Amino acid sequence: MAKIKLNFDELSPLEQEWFLTETRCDKCNEADLGIVDPVYYREDGKEFIEGKCKKCGAVQITEIVVQKLKQ
């Protein structure tokens, strides 16, 4: 299934902040480290945010499982 790239800038500022900070890095084995260079995409009906750990630079992929925040 191909990745469908979505526009990260279309997320609300709150969602953007949440996705950029509420990440877990398996390599650092720590939560809430944050990511840089976020890529927002849909694959196989699910949405993901991919980015690099701010601390070690490893690529982290976070599935968006929570309901999107309402305005």
Which residues contribute to the site for Zn ion (CB under 5 A)? 25, 27-28, 53, 55-56, 58
* Residue closer to Zn ion (CB basis): 10 or 26: 26
Nearest Cα residue to 31 out of 59, 57, 15, 53: 53
| 40 versus 60: smaller Cβ distance to Zn ion | 60
CB of 13 to Zn ion, least distance (A): 24
**Cα–Cα separations (whole angstroms), residue 51 to 16, 32, 33, 42, 70:** 12, 13, 11, 14, 24
The distance of closest approach from Cβ of residue 16 to Zn ion in the complex, given in angstroms and rounded to an integer, is 20
Residue type, 71: Q
In the bound state with Zn ion, the residue whose beta carbon lies nearer, of 3 and 27, is 27
